[in-house]
């Protein structure tokens, strides 16, 4: 690991506790428990608090002897379904496994939370219970994207926490995304780009141009390199690590990429399914196809991370199986053990302070430009 200045992590013997919602996923609690078994075997320092209906969960857990010492079951009567509206869950969600999962992070019992449930409801409950980080206006969901980079993944945010983003939000997404790339992807100095319809400076919407103009100043504080505008075709590119966009565009891009990969996989299967020779070839090509599958397997990139809250929350795909759940828990574990939240909060705070300095300087300069005011009195030093 080459994490640079942020490489200090929890001491090698300290336990790392993750809070896991066992309910609300498409495949039910059995898939979550199977994922737990994988994770517990993989990370010796991992302990888990698992939330859900004990009538269902207790027998599933009891069947796995390895879990007994390291998994604590916390009963929750109710479940948030995929159909529940976020606003309803915010008002009436107490007593659900999702709420309880988030509260374990809020109360300091766990270092991060994982849920396969309803994304909108999870964001709503996380916002309500954990609150936004000081200085953050709009939280974001960051997802991984298979890429040509040596690490195999790029990062994109926001992919759907909100349907829009102002200039300030895009700048903050850059800071938060770079911090995540450093701590979650081990990229020592992340390269950040803004998603646009062309790479030329004059292209795109007004807010993107303004974010573009102001990004260099933010990059200095956020300890990343700004590479300028990138296009949809650059999402898997090796010239960028973190792609910043609003939640509407990011969500469409994410689902378009997943949909395209699925279409090609289906076409590939049909192509190899037609004719005896093809089937024979497919058998011989099995290793090659498996190698390909490993590189674009959506289960390996499972886990959208909520950034900008007082707590780390990993949203697993609703349809995640054991491998997918284990990947999401592994991501939460990695972020918790490097104390990602403290680092993120520190980055956001210093970026905010720098932004205030810059704003103050702009005010000072603007005042200095006005001939009838005394230079230097525009800023408010008590801010």
Return the HEC string of the chain.
Answer: CCCHHHCCCCCCCCCEEEEEECCCCCCHHHHHHHHHHHHHHHCCCEEEEEEECHHHHHHHHHCCHHHCCCEEEEECCECCCCCCCHHHHHHHCCCEHHHHHHHHHHCCCCCEEEECCCHHHHHHHHHHHHCECCCCCCCEEEEEEECCCCCCEEEEECCCCCCCCCHHHHHHHHHHHHHHHHHHCCCCCCEEEEECCCCCCCCCCHHHHHHHHHHHHHHHHHCCEEEEEECHHHCCCCCCCEEECCHHHHHHHHHHHHHHHHHHHHHHHHHHHCCHHHHHHHHHCHHHHHHHHHHHCCCCCCCEEEECECCCEEECCCCCCHHHHHHHHHHHHHHHHCCHHHHHHHHHHHHHHHHHHHHHHHHHHHHHHCCCCCCCCCCCCCC
| CB closer to a second copy out of 1 and 284 | 284
**Shortest Cβ distance from residue 249 to a second copy (Å)?**
5
> Binding residue for a second copy (CB under 8 A) from 5, 108, 150, 233?
233
91 binds a second copy (CB under 8 A): no
- CB 173, min distance to a second copy, A: 16
Return the residue of 8, 41, 216, 281 that touches a second copy, per CB under 8 A. Answer: 281
Residue 277 binding a second copy, by CB under 8 A: yes
Candidate residues 105, 235, 313, 348; the one interacting with a second copy per rule CB under 8 A? 235
Q: Which of 284, 371, 372, 383 binds a second copy (CB under 8 A)?
A: 284
Say whether residue 164 binds a second copy (CB under 8 A).
Answer: yes
Q: Decide: is 282 part of the binding site for a second copy (CB under 8 A).
A: yes
Q: Which is nearer to a second copy, 34 or 253 (CB)?
A: 253
Count, residues near a second copy per rule CB under 8 A = 59
User: Toward a second copy, which CB reaches closer, 296 or 345?
Assistant: 296
Of 9, 199, 278, 310, the residue at the interface with a second copy (CB under 8 A) is: 278
Regarding 268 and contact with a second copy (CB under 8 A), the answer is yes
Is the Cβ of residue 107 or residue 280 nearer to a second copy in the bound state? Answer: 280
Interface positions with a second copy (CB under 8 A): 85, 146-148, 160, 163-164, 195, 197, 202, 204-205, 231-237, 245, 247-249, 251-264, 266-268, 270-272, 274-275, 277-278, 280-282, 284-285, 287-289, 291-292, 295-296
């Amino acid at each position: 690991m080459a994490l640079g200045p942020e490489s200090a992590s929890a001491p090698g013997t300290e336990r790392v506790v993750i809070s896991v919602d066992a309910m609300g996923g498409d495949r039910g609690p059995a898939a979550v428990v199977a994922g737990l078994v994988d994770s517990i075997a993989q990370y010796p320092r991992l302990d888990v608090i698992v939330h859900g209906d004990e009538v269902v969960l207790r027998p599933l857990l009891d069947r796995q002897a390895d879990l007994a010492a390291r998994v604590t079951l916390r009963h929750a009567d109710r479940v948030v379904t995929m159909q529940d509206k976020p606003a309803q869950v915010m008002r009436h969600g107490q007593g659900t496994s999702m709420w309880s999962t988030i509260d374990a992070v809020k109360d300091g019992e766990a270092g991060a939370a994982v849920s396969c449930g309803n994304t909108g409801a999870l964001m709503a409950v996380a916002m309500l219970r954990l609150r936004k980080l000081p200085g953050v206006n709009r939280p974001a969901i960051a997802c991984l994207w298979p890429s040509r980079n040596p690490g195999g993944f790029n990062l994109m945010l926001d992919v759907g926490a909100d349907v829009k983003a102002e200039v300030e939000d895009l700048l903050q997404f850059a800071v938060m995304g770079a911090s995540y790339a450093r701590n979650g992807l081990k990229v020592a100095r992340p390269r950040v780009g803004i998603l646009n319809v062309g790479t030329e400076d004059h292209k795109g919407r007004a807010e993107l141009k303004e974010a573009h103009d102001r990004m260099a100043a933010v990059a200095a504080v956020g300890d990343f390199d700004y590479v300028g505008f990138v296009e949809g075709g650059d999402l898997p590119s090796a010239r960028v690590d973190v792609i910043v966009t609003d939640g509407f565009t990011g969500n469409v891009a994410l689902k378009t990429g997943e949909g395209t990969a699925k279409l090609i996989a289906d076409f590939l299967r049909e192509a190899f399914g037609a004719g005896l020779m093809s089937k024979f070839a497919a058998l011989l090509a099995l290793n090659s196809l498996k190698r390909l599958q490993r590189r674009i397997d959506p289960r390996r990139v499972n886990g959208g991370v909520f950034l900008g809250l007082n707590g780390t929350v990993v949203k697993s795909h609703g349809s995640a199986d054991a491998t997918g759940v284990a990947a999401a828990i592994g991501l939460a574990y990695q972020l918790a053990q490097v104390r990602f939240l403290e680092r993120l909060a520190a980055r956001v705070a210093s970026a905010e302070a720098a932004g205030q300095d810059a704003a103050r300087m702009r005010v000072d300069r603007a005042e200095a430009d006005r001939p009838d005011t005394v230079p230097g009195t525009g800023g408010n030093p008590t801010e």
